[in-house]
Amino acid sequence: MNTSEVGQHLLGPHVVGTRVVVRRVVRGERGPSGGPAMTDLLGVCVRWEPGPHGVCVVRPERGPEVSIALADIVSGKPVPERASVRDRVAPGEAQRHGFALFPDLVTTPLGSWVLRDSPSATARRAHSVLAFGPSGVDDDVERVLAHYERPIAAVLSGSAEHERLLGLGWGPESNDGDTLFQVAGLAQVSRALRKLRVRDGRPAGPDVVVEDAVPGSWASARLGDVARGYAGFGDDWVGFGGIEVAASARRRGLGLAVMAALVEWGAELGATTAYLQVLDGNGPALGLYEKLGFRTHHRYCYLSPAPSSLPLGRVRGSGG
């Protein structure tokens, strides 16, 4: 090994507290080529002591802290934080967690696509095909057209399926912008809710009534006749929807109180990940959810076919 290479790296006191990767010499060992053995270490730099006998101390994800002599560092650099488990979940899988928000949802596979129907819900998520990724079915679009009285497809914005349906004459189902699927750690959301309500001088526990309508999987919450919402739980994910406050009762923290009650319900069931879905153009809601720790996991939009592409006799209904 060329000893001039030692110390040529991007590390220093400035990386303390950040995630780094460090390549170092393993003293007393030989590598495959006969030269000094080297190994890489990934973790958080917790201490940097400069000088002739200086050290860099790294705490790996597992195991004890490792002290590395600066003279043994061959190369190194800061690296981005590893994405959380929830961030690494594919968009289609995240959407499937969202099925819990509709207790009577009927799902029918169409290859890798999912036909979704509900006898009671009115949301588009409960009356559309989830078309994330290729379906693997040759006549997938024709079968979607035959299945729905009013066909709607949910597609990842800018995806190949998005472009394909546009090419077949489909277009935006409404004037709405993209829908943002947002996720957060449930514990973080709970802490943020408490801080917001304490900061604003709001009572810690208004009389929010939580009804576990489908024990262990779906609950609704209401605060008198002025605020309400619901939540669905499954596979340690809890989702929130329908958080509404009457116009005459807004800016009093009642929506936060409802959400806090539903967060507690999800936590009692063992949920660790929270999610919700919000329109891209809803600035006030997005600002609030950001304060609670939510961030966008993926964005998607709804498409519907041109009337000319529908089977004869089919009449398109109104929005829902």
What DSSP assignment string belongs to 108-175?
EEETTEEEEE-SS--SGGGSSEE--S----TTHHHHHHHH-SS--EEEETTSHHHHHHHHTT-EESSS
> End of a domain among 19, 54, 78?
78
CATH number at residue 257: 3.40.630.30
Asked if the structure places residue 126 within a domain, the reply is no
Secondary structure class of 60 (helix, strand, coil) = strand
Spatial CB neighbours of 259, under 8 Å, sequence gap ≥ 6: 193, 229, 240, 243
Asked if residue 90 is part of any domain, the answer here is: no
Residue 121 lies in a domain: no
Q: Please, are residues 144 and 106 in contact by the beta-carbon 8 Å criterion? A: no
Domain termination site, one of 19, 52, 78: 78
Residue 101 lies in a domain: no
Residue type, 196: L
Q: 263-299, pLDDT tens digit by residue? A: 999 999 999 999 999 999 899 899 999 999 999 999 9
Write the pLDDT tens digit of every residue in 50-65. Answer: 988 899 999 998 889 9
Does 200 score more than 80 pLDDT?
no
Domain-ending residue, one of 49, 78, 107: 78
CATH code at 69?
2.30.30
The count of structural domains within the chain is 2
Residue 216 lies in a domain: yes
Residue 43, beta-bridge partner list = 20, 60
169 in any annotated domain: no
Distance between CA atoms of residues 41 and 63, nearest Å: 12
Cβ atoms of 227 and 260 closer than 8 Å:
no
209 beta partners:
222
Closest CA relative to residue 73, chosen from 35, 28, 41, 46:
41
Model pLDDT, residue 6: 45
Beta bridge partners of 130: 114, 154
Number of alpha carbons in the 13 Å side-chain half-sphere of residue 110: 25
| pLDDT, mean of residues 146-166 | 96
- Residue 273 forms part of a structural domain: yes
Indicate whether 184 and 294 sit together in one domain: yes
The answer as to whether 174 is a domain residue is: no
- 281 with 128: CB under 8 angstroms? no
Residue 202: give the domain boundaries.
180-300
Its pTM surpasses 0.75: no
pLDDT value of residue 1? 39
Weakest-pLDDT range from 78-82, 130-134, 262-266: 78-82
